[in-house]
Amino acid sequence: MAGPQLIYPDINGIRPDYGSLGITLAGPSGVPINLVTSGANIYALKSLNYSDNLEGTMVYGTSATPIGRTRGQYKAEGSMEIYRDEYDALIMALTLYGKAHGRTPGFMEVAFNIQVSYAPSSDVPMITDTLYGVRLKKNGKDQQAGADPLAVKCDLSIMRITHNGQDPVSGLIAVNAASVTGATSLA
């Protein structure tokens, strides 16, 4: 199946920028985690970075050149920088989400999903990447003098990333709500 056809040069086209992104948070069961009363979209992320890789090991045997490679292990990671007020709202929302689902974990123990969506142009469907089983791994607060608003840098532990709905490797184990939250069932 062929994907969208790009035409170059793109003289009058507009490429999406950071302000074009729609970023939402949800619990593993898909229930939105709202930090503000205006809904699930997060507008206060200064940056969001994520990547995944699949690195196999070369198999050599008695040859100087590889005779094959292993499939490897899939790994995903990320980071975000979020303004301080929204960070405080996020950790409170994660704590409340955990309690609402039968646990009283610390906020760094609660998994959530992040959806990042944008439309490259008006005639192309929305593209959505989903980060599954995200947990806050490290939170760094670096306050300094100046006019810039306070922000918190967070390293993210991510179970899996789908790129525009496409799995990066075949045979992935489904990330279900109970496994990432520790709850027995989620609504």
Which is nearest to 44 in space by CA: 20, 23, 73?
23
The DSSP secondary structure of 93-117, one letter per residue, reads HHHHHHHHTT----GGG--EEEEEE
**Average pLDDT of every residue of the chain:** 80
Phi/psi for 87 (5° steps) reads: -60, -45
pLDDT of the residue at 39: 52
pLDDT of the residue at 20: 73
Angle, CA of 179, 174 and 176, to the nearest 5°: 35
Report the distance separating Cα 71 and Cα 69, nearest Å.
7
- Residue pLDDT, tens place only, 20-44: 777 887 776 777 776 654 555 677 8
CATH of 20-55+69-180, one of 3.40.30, 2.30.110, 1.10.3470, 1.20.120: 2.30.110
pTM of the complete model: 0.79
Q: Could you tell me if 45 and 82 are in contact, meaning their C-beta atoms sit under 8 angstroms apart?
A: yes
